[in-house]
Amino acid sequence: MSITVKIDLGYEFDVKAKAAEVFEVLSNVPESVSHFPKVEKLTDLGGGVYQWEMEKVGTAQVNIQTVYASKYVSDQARGTVKWTPVKGVGNAQVGGNWKIVDNKKSTGLTLSIQGQIDVPLPGLMKMVVAPVVEGEFEKLVEKYIANLIKRFGGEA
């Protein structure tokens, strides 16, 4: 039995770095992921597909490890980096996109992430577990954004 927790996050911010540099970092999946906290292992499965294995969270008795794969497609002309879930890998499905806009003196970034994580716990636990899982995922994404802002010379 498991609980499915849905994730839907959106962020907008500006950084000081040039759009070309920002695109270069975000379209290079291993480079981009190096700024994401608590990633235990990133595996290149080929064809733009990467498998993420997050560090286990919880206690020794009850812990969750999120594993999933996404296919990445970058388009420099459009200023986008998109990823779509790969079915049948791990316990989560995660997709989303970056939109990179050159504002001349700064670079505008929009990040959108949607997903669902299957947690192996009884349905009765959903009211307790869902907010914790959502909150943990949100904290990781916010730390990722903070790390990227630092990498790109600060917020504009």
Contact 140, 38 (CB under 8 A): yes
Residue 119 pLDDT? 86
In a domain, 156, yes or no: no
The domain in which residue 126 lies consists of 3-151
In a domain, 135, yes or no: yes
Number of domains in the chain: 1
CATH code, domain with 25: 3.30.530.20
Contact 42, 50 (CB under 8 A): yes
Q: What is the C-alpha separation between 97 and 111, in angstroms, rounded?
A: 6
Please count the other Cβ atoms lying within 10 Å of the Cβ belonging to residue 124: 10
Q: Which residues, in sequence order, are bridge partners of residue 80?
A: 75, 99
Is residue 155 over pLDDT 90? yes
H/E run at residue 135: helix 126-151
In a domain, 19, yes or no: yes
- The tens digit of pLDDT for each residue in 91-108 reads 999 999 999 999 999 999
In a domain, 23, yes or no: yes
Pairing of strands 80-85, 67-75: antiparallel
H/E run at residue 13: strand 3-15
Residue 2 pLDDT? 87
Q: What is the C-alpha separation between 16 and 35, in angstroms, rounded?
A: 17
64 band by pLDDT with thresholds 50, 70 and 90: confident
